[in-house]
Amino acid sequence: MKQRVLVEVCVDSVASAVAAERGGAARVELCSDLLEGGITPSAGLIATVRSKVSIGLHPIIRPRPGDFFYSDQEIQIMRRDIEAAKELGADGVVFGILEQHGNVDVERTRTLVELARPLSVTFHRAFDMSSDLQRALDGVCQTGADRILTSGGEQTCLEGIDVIASLVKAGKGRIRIMAGGGIGPRDALNIVERTGVREIHVGLSSPVASPMLYRNPRVSISRALGREYDRVQVLEEDVRTLHRAISLSGQ
């Protein structure tokens, strides 16, 4: 019998984390500000999610939006955030550091991996922003990280499906490859079968209505006019639907 595919759901709220667990997810990646690709969640958010779910909890450790070349001060922030995540009961952490020329910063990443132990470590999609994915794979392996989250260097996993498959083969016995990027119920099974991954990372967020009854039409404090009234949330049924989709062939 084949090993079951692990589903990790990216969430930015307590409600989404609870829905992910109820829908059958094995793990959540916890972020704040998903509109900017996700940054480190607050200690309050980590602690509250930990108190509400029993599945794996992996906060992202990303001190700011933007690129993945970090200053010494930013690395110090990441160190403190990793220590805080450990104290708050996280099961793992998620981060990625690149050098200026697009290579994995092996030395500084390894230092953070060692600091994070015994927690599990995922090298996130900074990997997809590297200059050479095969070289980056070797670099991440040298850091001691447990897995790589990747879309195969493309915008979505479907576009990078052949590259993901090659990374799974190249990483076998060295590191786990987790596919993530645009995966939904319609294509999840195809991606799993064609790449050989045993872990997938999904968003599944749906727009939800803001409960605000009054809205000031003259002021916006977000980058896009009226964006502060936008909300998204993971829905339990969407997670269940994805699980059913990857179970069609006995996964």
Q: What is the phi-psi region of residue 212: left when phi exceeds 0, alpha when psi lies from -120 to 50, beta otherwise?
A: beta
Q: What is the pLDDT of residues 11-25, one digit of tens each?
A: 999 999 999 999 999
Q: What is the phi-psi region of residue 117: left when phi exceeds 0, alpha when psi lies from -120 to 50, beta otherwise?
A: beta
Beta 27-30 vs 56-59: how paired, if at all?
Answer: parallel
Q: What is the pLDDT of residues 190-232, one digit of tens each?
A: 999 999 999 999 999 999 888 989 988 888 886 666 677 888 8
- Whether 251 has a pLDDT exceeding 50, the answer reads no
Q: Is residue 150 a contact partner of residue 94, using CB atoms and an 8 Å limit? A: no
Vertex 177: Cα angle to 42 and 132 (nearest 5) = 95
Pick the CATH number of 6-246 from 3.40.50.720, 1.20.840.10, 3.20.20.380, 3.40.1590.10: 3.20.20.380
Comparing CA positions, the residue from 32, 113, 33, 103 lying closest to residue 75 is 113
For 171-175, which contacts have Cβ atoms below 8 Å and span 24 or more sequence positions? 171/137, 171/141, 174/141, 175/137, 175/140, 175/141, 175/145, 175/146, 175/147, 175/148
The average pLDDT across 21-32 equals 97
Q: What is the phi-psi region of residue 143: left when phi exceeds 0, alpha when psi lies from -120 to 50, beta otherwise?
A: alpha
Q: What is the pTM of this model?
A: 0.94
The average pLDDT across 39-63 equals 98
pLDDT number for residue 4: 86
Q: Is residue 242 a contact partner of residue 8, using CB atoms and an 8 Å limit? A: no
Cα distance between residue 14 and residue 223, in whole Å: 25
Residue recorded with tokens 């997809």: 128
Residue recorded with tokens 């409600």: 15
Per DSSP, the three-state class of 46 is helix
Cα distance between residue 235 and residue 23, in whole Å: 8
Q: What is the pLDDT of residues 80-130, one digit of tens each?
A: 999 999 999 999 999 999 999 999 999 999 999 999 999 999 999 999 999
Vertex 154: Cα angle to 201 and 181 (nearest 5) = 20
pLDDT number for residue 108: 98
Cα distance between residue 13 and residue 197, in whole Å: 27
- Whether 170 has a pLDDT exceeding 80, the answer reads yes
Cα distance between residue 156 and residue 45, in whole Å: 28
Q: Where are the domains of the chain?
A: 6-246
Q: What is the pLDDT of residues 53-90, one digit of tens each?
A: 999 999 999 999 999 999 999 999 999 999 999 999 99
